[in-house]
């Protein structure tokens, strides 16, 4: 099961903002038996989008974790067939991590918004960045429409 809940990165500015899209289909494994896309997964998609921005904005490649959700609202629902656009901004940045604010919309309808903290993992807690890890990262970046990481060009094929 794919746990990246973002289909494509549409645009991003380092250290500033990012825009992504998620299309909700009937084939979603998470949707079996549910009439609507769960709010928790909209929140997860917002946070994942913020994590992608934070990792790409760091001076060296860092990994983030979700530290805290300060606020989350889900004023409307999302359904199969909806195209959810997610925008996240880095509201405040520090060496330890970033404070982000994100909103998810279907057209003009807000289906989720959140304020959350994404601290960077201490280097000693990061997974080993071996060839298999770099390969997975490269595949994910291609799928999301992101440029390859520095030094990964030859592995991109």
Give the phi and the psi of residue 40 in degrees, each rounded to 5.
-60, -35
> What residues between 112 and 131 interact with another protein by CB under 8 A?
117, 119
Among 67, 77, 134, 149, binds another protein (CB under 8 A): 67
- Name the nearest CA neighbour of 73 among 36, 51, 102: 102
**Total residues at the site for another protein (CB under 8 A)?**
11
In the complex, what is the shortest distance from the CB of residue 86 to another protein, in angstroms, rounded to a whole number?
22
In the complex, what is the shortest distance from the CB of residue 131 to another protein, in angstroms, rounded to a whole number?
32
- Name the nearest CA neighbour of 100 among 87, 108, 90, 109: 90
Q: Which is nearer to another protein, 49 or 98 (CB)?
A: 98
99 binds another protein (CB under 8 A): yes
Q: Which is nearer to another protein, 35 or 95 (CB)?
A: 95
- Name the nearest CA neighbour of 89 among 108, 64, 114: 114
- How many CA atoms are closer than 13 Å to the CA of 116, on its beta-carbon side? 26
In the complex, what is the shortest distance from the CB of residue 117 to another protein, in angstroms, rounded to a whole number?
6
4: number of Cβ within 10 Å: 13
Distance CA(156)–CA(87), nearest Å, equals: 27
Q: Which is nearer to another protein, 93 or 110 (CB)?
A: 93
97 binds another protein (CB under 8 A): yes
Distance CA(125)–CA(144), nearest Å, equals: 25
78 binds another protein (CB under 8 A): no
Stretch in the footprint of another protein (CB under 8 A) among 13-21, 53-61, 93-101, 148-156 = 93-101
**Distant-in-sequence, close-in-space partners of 124: CB < 8 Å, separation ≥ 6:** none
- List residues binding another protein (CB under 8 A): 67-68, 70, 92, 94-97, 99, 117, 119
């Amino acid at each position: 099961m794919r746990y990246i809940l973002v289909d494509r990165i549409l645009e991003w500015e380092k250290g500033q903002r990012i825009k992504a899209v998620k299309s909700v289909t009937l084939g979603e494994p998470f949707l079996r038996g549910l009439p609507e896309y769960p709010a928790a997964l909209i929140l997860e998609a917002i946070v994942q989008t913020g994590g992608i921005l934070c990792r790409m904005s760091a001076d060296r490649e860092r990994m983030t974790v979700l530290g805290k959700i300060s606020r989350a609202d889900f004023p409307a629902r999302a359904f199969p067939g909806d195209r959810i656009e997610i925008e996240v901004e880095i509201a405040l940045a520090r060496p330890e991590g970033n404070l982000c604010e994100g909103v998810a919309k279907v057209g003009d309808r807000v289906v989720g918004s959140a304020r959350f903290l994404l601290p960077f993992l201490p280097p000693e807690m990061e997974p080993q960045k071996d060839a298999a890890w770099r390969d997975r990262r490269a595949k994910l970046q291609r799928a999301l429409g992101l440029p390859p990481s520095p030094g990964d060009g030859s592995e991109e094929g």
